[in-house]
Amino acid sequence: MLKTLSLHNLGSARGAPLATSRASRKLAEPLGEQQGPREHCPLGYRGPGQSGDGSPRADNISLILLSSREPSVATVSAGMPRRRPLQVEFNDVSLTVGKTPILNRLTGSCRPGEVLAIMGPSGSGKTSLLNTISGRLRATSGTITIGGEPLSKRHKRHMCYVLQQDVFFTDLTLRQTLMYTALLRLPDSMPYQEKMNHVDHILDILDLKRCQDTIIGNMLKRGLSGGEKKRANIACELLTNPSIMLLDEPTSGLDSSTAYNLITTLKQFAEKENKTVILTLHQPSSQIFYMLDSLLLLCNGQNAYFGDTRKVVEHFSRIGLPIAPHYNPADFILEVVKGSPEVQERVIQGANCPERGTTFNLSQNITIQTSPSIHSLYSKYLSLQDGHTTTGVEGEECPWDEDCNCQDQGYHAKCPAEVSVTITGSKKETSVFTKMGEEEDSGRSSWSEETESEASASSSSSEEYVDRQWPTSFLTQFKVLTQRNFCVARPFILSRLHWIQTLGLALIAGLLWFQAPRTEEALHDIQGWMFFSTTYWMLFMLFAALQSFPSEREVIMKERASGSYRVSAYYLAKMVGELPLTFTLPTFYMLISYPMMGGTHVLTFIKHLIVLLLNTLVAQSMGLLIGAICMDLQVGITVSALFTLFSQLFGGYLANKIPPWLSWAKYLSMVHYAFQNMNIIEFSDGTPVSCSLENSRFKSCGFNKSYIEVSEILDERGQTLPLWLNTTILIMFMLSARLLTYLMLRFLHRLK
Ligand SMILES: Nc1ncnc2c1ncn2[C@@H]1O[C@H](COP(=O)(O)OP(=O)(O)OP(=O)(O)O)[C@@H](O)[C@H]1O
């Protein structure tokens, strides 16, 4: 049986899959087969029209297409606070970065319930426009309004921005990622269980249940697939039920079927929930293309077309660039805006008509060179030649009216108006796809009075949360971020490699200084163990902390840009969340190494441990500070190497006789204070050190004393400060470094 799609004018087939495209052809194939390999239940494909086993019945394709518009997406916001629908408008928006003009007088709008696609070749300014609409970039001129009000910081909580890149903490599972997002971005007034139900619901809608316990992963660690990451990205944003969704290339890297399903979901989300969806697309299939309500086509940052997607074919015909039959209009318009300067000029002028009162000399044929892939597709299926020539009406100049309509009916008659496509299904069945027209859209909720009044009548709490500066209290942010920081840092700080490294070094140090006798001869060795332990943990923690901000920065920036939490909450949570992890390995090291070195006093061990942990915290603080200042790992490593070597050299063990003009430098060495404290503790509280039997270098050994006086041991390494003062100075080091780090994050790196 043959399936025939008859579209009376390509442009009016709103929402209907264009059977001229490869994707449409695929649709017309037995859907049971098409569904088979798609292990993940395709978005928007559930519901009537599916057979008992979940696969659609091949004889009911048009029903499936219609019923695919009744998805579970309709309940994305079930139980969520209601959001007011907001229209996005931008007028004459220009953007210049430095001296480079990026966007030039762009005008467009998107109403609630609609999907606006921004299309254009690479580098035409799609992402820049999205950034400008979201407020991440400030327009050089022009106006942007959200719900009739000029764009302001307040609006960022009404919109979500799905970035082109998938920015996540790679060690968290998908479920953890969504859970923390929900806890941070959904209001405190919503019970925990409800938030978790919402997470489940979103996982279900985006067909991510199957991989919810998989880690996000990265290049080195396998995790979610590219398509799953894309959907995870969208899931995080859907959680907050935003009024406006901005998506930068949501379909990039997805296969055509997944891309189609994703756009279907977004389309349904816009329609059913009255959301404003603006997305950038690179090369959509015609099926996807006609699902979009309106299109803004960019050409070198300028407006090449803005309007109804269904009218794009007509528009291009009108300006002398009619689209060949069977050609995917999305491919065609991209070929056009990548064409010769002459073609680009014509398109830009056509888009700005009637202001410029443009008329085109349609007698001139313009050849648009099609891409090789399109060519091969054409050769194969449609037997076209290299490129295709668009031809206006010979010798005729179309008289344009005020609305840029060609008034010559004869001209229009020559434009492609009706296309009939025959598709052969493998079961040799035939059915007729009927045009999906305006009637089908009648159910679409629009920016209607009813919706507005509904919105205003919605619970005050919902609007209240929307307009509050933060969705959650400081305490909630702190608690959730502490837990998340712990989960994020644990795989790194307590990695198997770090356990092995710590065990190995503890054993080596223990064996090297094994049961060192407390004698004058072994004094240098005991101090060697103390110096090694101090510097090793300084190096370990400092370099571990160094990577912390540079690696987390993108995620934090993304979350901060959507107004999820305060920098102070994040920073404080990071300090607290990582604390137990910071203490684990040094404690493990001390438990092995100290007894092996011959330490027997429990109290001395505890005091040593406290000093070592404090030293570790100071080192971590310095690492965070250097990382926050540099935000570049290479620069950070160089600065850290200088700092740690300086600290070691002036630590009091390697060099005793420091030149007087350099003696001040030791006060800047954190090792100096920690090493002094360990000496004080070991020789005051531990086993006394016996004098050498012959030629002792200590005066106290000359007065018939068997043990060296503690003060003499300490003085041998220069002037010693009391234990409490060394400890206070170390604490001051730590607090100042942490305060400076906060200021860096808050003011220098714009995590604000
Ligand atoms: N900060 C900047 N400084 C200078 N030029 C910039 C800057 N940001 C963007 N551009 C330039 O502006 C142009 C538009 O960039 P944009 O990323 O918006 O393009 P795009 O259409 O999204 O491209 P793609 O499809 O490849 O992602 C590019 O030529 C880019 O090099």
Tell me how far CA of residue 682 lies from CA of 527, 529, 609, 677, in angstroms. Answer: 9, 11, 11, 8
Ligand 1 pocket member 104 (CB < 6 A): no
Cα angle for residues 605, 611, 615 (degrees, 5° grid): 140
Ligand 1 pocket member 125 (CB < 6 A): yes
Q: Are residues 552 and 593 in the same domain?
A: yes
Tell me how far CA of residue 119 lies from CA of 162, 226, 293, in angstroms. Answer: 16, 22, 13
Q: Are residues 491 and 595 in the same domain?
A: yes
Please state whether the peptide bond connecting residue 150 to the residue before it is cis, i.e. omega within 30 degrees of 0.
Answer: no
- In eight-state DSSP terms, residue 71 is -
* 257: three-class secondary structure by DSSP: helix
CA dist 513 and 528 (Å) reads 9
Ligand 1 pocket member 120 (CB < 6 A): yes
Distance 92 CA to ligand 1 centre (A): 19
Say if residues 161 and 244 touch (Cβ distance below 8 Å).
no
Find the helix or strand (DSSP H, E) in which 303 lies: strand 302-308
Nearest to 523 by CA among 341, 309, 686: 686
- In eight-state DSSP terms, residue 362 is T
Q: Which two tokens stand for residue 715?
A: 């003085």
Ligand 1 pocket member 124 (CB < 6 A): yes
Tokens 């018939």 locate to: 704
Count Cβ atoms below 10 Å from residue 512 Cβ, excluding itself. Answer: 15
Q: Which two tokens stand for residue 233?
A: 């990205």
Regions of the chain where pLDDT drops below 50: 1-74, 354-467, 751-752
Q: Are residues 609 and 651 in the same domain?
A: yes
- Domain tally, the chain: 3
Nearest to 346 by CA among 332, 336, 354: 336
Q: Are residues 548 and 664 in the same domain?
A: yes
Tokens 């300090």 locate to: 575
N-to-C CA span, the chain = 62
Distance 126 CA to ligand 1 centre (A): 8
CA dist 332 and 543 (Å) reads 53
Say if residues 177 and 212 touch (Cβ distance below 8 Å).
no
Distance 95 CA to ligand 1 centre (A): 11
Q: Are residues 434 and 515 in the same domain?
A: no
List, in order, residues 6 or more apart from 663 with CB less than 8 Å away: none
Which range marks the domain in which residue 178 is found? 169-236
- In this structure, which residue's CA is closest to atom 31 in ligand 1? 123
Pairing outcome for strands 276-281 and 244-247: parallel
Q: Which atom of ligand 1 is nearest to the CA of 130?
A: 18
Ligand 1 pocket member 122 (CB < 6 A): yes
Ligand 1 pocket member 131 (CB < 6 A): no
**pTM for this structure?**
0.68
Distance 280 CA to ligand 1 centre (A): 13
**What local confidence, expressed as pLDDT, does residue 550 receive?**
80
Starting at the edge strand found earlier in the chain, the sheet holding 149-150 runs: 149-150, 141-146, 88-97, 100-110, 302-308, 294-299, 115-119, 276-281, 244-247, 159-162
**What local confidence, expressed as pLDDT, does residue 136 receive?**
85
**What local confidence, expressed as pLDDT, does residue 80 receive?**
58
Residue positions counted in the chain: 752
Q: Are residues 437 and 495 in the same domain?
A: no
**What local confidence, expressed as pLDDT, does residue 451 receive?**
30
Distance 345 CA to ligand 1 centre (A): 21
User: Would you state the torsion angle of the CA atoms of residues 406, 407, 409, 414, taken in this order, to the nearest 10 degrees?
Assistant: -20
Q: Which two tokens stand for residue 23?
A: 């994707």
- In this structure, which residue's CA is closest to atom 1 in ligand 1? 97
In a domain, 489, yes or no: yes
**567-596 and 496-512 are packed helices; what angle lies between their axes, rounded to 10 degrees?**
40
* 295: three-class secondary structure by DSSP: strand
Ligand 1 pocket member 102 (CB < 6 A): yes
CA dist 413 and 317 (Å) reads 11
Q: Are residues 433 and 552 in the same domain?
A: no
In a domain, 649, yes or no: yes
Starting at the edge strand found earlier in the chain, the sheet holding 432-433 runs: 418-424, 2-8, 432-433
CA dist 527 and 689 (Å) reads 12
Distance 303 CA to ligand 1 centre (A): 16
List, in order, residues 6 or more apart from 44 with CB less than 8 Å away: 68, 69, 71, 73, 261, 264, 265, 268
Ligand 1 pocket member 704 (CB < 6 A): no
Distance 565 CA to ligand 1 centre (A): 29
Distance 620 CA to ligand 1 centre (A): 38
Q: Are residues 631 and 571 in the same domain?
A: yes
Q: Three-class SS string for 690-726?
A: ECCCCCCCCHHHHCCCCECCHHHHHHCCCCCCCHHHH
Identify which of 104, 126, 164, 280 to mutate to test ligand 1's pocket (most ligand atoms within 8 A of the CB): 126
User: Among 195, 213, 236, which residue terminates a domain?
Assistant: 236
Ligand 1 pocket member 128 (CB < 6 A): yes
Q: Which atom of ligand 1 is nearest to the CA of 124?
A: 21
User: Would you state the torsion angle of the CA atoms of residues 29, 33, 34, 37, taken in this order, to the nearest 10 degrees?
Assistant: -160
Identify which of 100, 122, 279 to mutate to test ligand 1's pocket (most ligand atoms within 8 A of the CB): 100
Identify which of 93, 128, 283, 298 to mutate to test ligand 1's pocket (most ligand atoms within 8 A of the CB): 128
- In this structure, which residue's CA is closest to atom 7 in ligand 1? 97
In a domain, 663, yes or no: yes
* 434: three-class secondary structure by DSSP: coil
pLDDT tens for 558-579 read 888 777 888 999 999 999 999 9
* 394: three-class secondary structure by DSSP: coil
Q: Which atom of ligand 1 is nearest to the CA of 128?
A: 18
Distance 122 CA to ligand 1 centre (A): 8
- In this structure, which residue's CA is closest to atom 27 in ligand 1? 122
Ligand 1 pocket member 27 (CB < 6 A): no
- In this structure, which residue's CA is closest to atom 28 in ligand 1? 123
Cα angle for residues 79, 80, 86 (degrees, 5° grid): 140
- In this structure, which residue's CA is closest to atom 2 in ligand 1? 97
Say if residues 61 and 68 touch (Cβ distance below 8 Å).
no
Nearest to 250 by CA among 301, 292, 311: 292
Main-chain dihedrals φ then ψ at residue 459, nearest 5 degrees: -55, 140
- In this structure, which residue's CA is closest to atom 29 in ligand 1? 123
**What local confidence, expressed as pLDDT, does residue 5 receive?**
33
- In eight-state DSSP terms, residue 155 is G
In a domain, 335, yes or no: no
Q: Please report the sign of the dihedral spanned by the C-alpha atoms of residue 735, residue 580, residue 185, residue 90.
A: positive
Ligand 1 pocket member 100 (CB < 6 A): yes
Q: Are residues 66 and 191 in the same domain?
A: no
CA dist 344 and 302 (Å) reads 10
Distance 631 CA to ligand 1 centre (A): 23
Nearest to 538 by CA among 480, 574, 582: 582
Q: Which atom of ligand 1 is nearest to the CA of 120?
A: 21
In a domain, 357, yes or no: no
Identify which of 127, 133, 247 to mutate to test ligand 1's pocket (most ligand atoms within 8 A of the CB): 127
Ligand 1 pocket member 97 (CB < 6 A): yes
CA dist 705 and 466 (Å) reads 77
Instruction: Tell me the ipTM for this assembly.
Output: 0.96
Ligand 1 pocket member 695 (CB < 6 A): no
Count Cβ atoms below 10 Å from residue 311 Cβ, excluding itself. Answer: 16
* 319: three-class secondary structure by DSSP: coil
**What local confidence, expressed as pLDDT, does residue 377 receive?**
36
In a domain, 186, yes or no: yes
Main-chain dihedrals φ then ψ at residue 8, nearest 5 degrees: -80, 95
User: Among 181, 210, 236, which residue terminates a domain?
Assistant: 236
Pairing outcome for strands 432-433 and 88-97: unpaired
Ligand 1 pocket member 126 (CB < 6 A): yes
User: Among 236, 256, 286, which residue terminates a domain?
Assistant: 236
- In eight-state DSSP terms, residue 668 is G
pLDDT tens for 528-553 read 999 999 999 999 999 999 888 888 88
- In this structure, which residue's CA is closest to atom 10 in ligand 1? 102
**What local confidence, expressed as pLDDT, does residue 314 receive?**
85
Q: Where are the alpha helices (DSSP H) in 447-566?
A: 449-457, 460-467, 474-493, 496-512, 523-546, 548-561
Identify which of 97, 99, 102, 161 to mutate to test ligand 1's pocket (most ligand atoms within 8 A of the CB): 102
In a domain, 22, yes or no: yes
* 370: three-class secondary structure by DSSP: coil
Q: Are residues 187 and 46 in the same domain?
A: no
Q: Which two tokens stand for residue 421?
A: 């496509």
Nearest to 353 by CA among 382, 383, 318: 318
Distance 128 CA to ligand 1 centre (A): 6
Q: Are residues 527 and 571 in the same domain?
A: yes
In a domain, 286, yes or no: no
One-letter identity of residue 388: H
**What local confidence, expressed as pLDDT, does residue 750 receive?**
58
Nearest to 232 by CA among 168, 301, 142, 316: 168
Q: Are residues 581 and 670 in the same domain?
A: yes
Ligand 1 pocket member 127 (CB < 6 A): yes
